[in-house]
Amino acid sequence: MNLNRPVIRLLILKDWQLFEKQLAAYVLAGLGALTLLGLARPWAFYLGSLALIVVVVAAACFAISNSLLVERKEQTLAFVMSLPVSPLDFTISKLLGNLLTFGVPFCVLLLGTLVVILSTPLPDGLVILATLLFGHILLAYSVSLAVAMQVESEGWNTFAMIGSMVLVNPFLMALGQIESIQGPIRQDAIAWSLPAALILGAQLLVSVVVLVHTAWWHGRKAAFY
């Protein structure tokens, strides 16, 4: 597999530079949310938690929308085809670029959330719920990214993004029905039960499989269309 690494790097850099402004806004909003949580007041906690979820979901949707859907509309692909890149190079650059632009705010906010739980009087068991919540957002993002790369229909893409992200609500409700998950999150110790570990493992595995399958599927293509 011969990859044109310098061009892939440049394409990722291009996505980063195009997305930098929005990414900066998301990171600032995330810091603002964490600062709200740091005020240690009930209203600030609820507002900060909500802001964190909004920021990470918005970052996920915006990364996909900006780098794939908008580019498709503006027919950037025609320009990319004039570069010395193969479809696989282009796919890899899109995947890595997206993972970078989404990964930065995702990691910052995941870390911030864990810090909130571990450094406040909140029960440490909430780490499990928070990790599963972020696991769901990662999975929803991976599915949306895969759909955006494989399906050109704007309607289906919008459906995939909104549908998968909104599923976070029933997902949380479902977690609330599993006693072996619900019980430990109220405790001050982090005790991963088998169902919780299996769900997290499944989220990570499916995310990776979806992304690898997308890369493999595109890699097999001999032409861009």
Partner 1 sequence: MPGVSPDAVPADRIHALDHLRALAMLAGVLFHAALAYSPLLAPVWPPADRQTWWGVDALIWLPHLVRMPLFFLIAGYFTASLLERRGMGGLARQRARRILLPFLVAWPLVDGSLALATEWAASAVTQSSPMLRLIRDWLALPDPPGLPPRTGHLWFLYYLLLFGVVLWAVRALGWGGGLARLMARGPQAVAGLLPLVLWPGFMATGSPHPAPESLLPEAWALAVFGPFYALGLGLHGRLDWLTPLRPWLKPAAALCLGLYAVLLDHWTTDATVARTAWATALLEALIAAWGTLLALALGLRWLARPSPLLRYLSASAYWTYLVHLPLLFALQYPMMDLGWPWPLKFATAVSATTALCLLSYELLVRRTPLQRFVG
Q: Which residues bind partner 1 (CB under 8 A)?
A: 20-21, 23-25, 27-28, 31, 34-35, 37-39, 112, 115-116, 118-120, 188
SS3 category, 84? coil
CB of 111 to partner 1, least distance (A): 9
Give the DSSP letter string of 98-144: HHHHHHHHHHHHHHHHHHHHHHSSS-TTHHHHHHHHHHHHHHHHHHH
CB of 29 to partner 1, least distance (A): 10
SS3 category, 95? helix
Cβ neighbours for 12, distance < 8 A, ≥ 6 positions apart: 93, 96, 97, 100
Q: Given the complex with partner 1, which of 143 and 185 has the nearer CB atom?
A: 185
Exposed e or buried b for every residue in 197-208, given b needs 16+ CB within 10 A?
eebbeebeeebe
For the purposes of burial, counting CB atoms within 10 Å of the CB of 152, is it exposed (0-12), middle (13-18) or buried (19 or more)?
exposed
Structural tokens at position 70: 């908008």
Count of CB atoms situated within 10 Å of the CB of 78: 9
Q: Given the complex with partner 1, which of 119 and 153 has the nearer CB atom?
A: 119
Q: Given the complex with partner 1, which of 20 and 152 has the nearer CB atom?
A: 20
CB of 7 to partner 1, least distance (A): 19
CB of 9 to partner 1, least distance (A): 13
Q: Given the complex with partner 1, which of 90 and 106 has the nearer CB atom?
A: 106
Q: How far is CA 96 from the centre of its chain?
A: 12
Q: Given the complex with partner 1, which of 121 and 155 has the nearer CB atom?
A: 121
Q: Given the complex with partner 1, which of 34 and 165 has the nearer CB atom?
A: 34
CB of 209 to partner 1, least distance (A): 32
CB of 27 to partner 1, least distance (A): 5
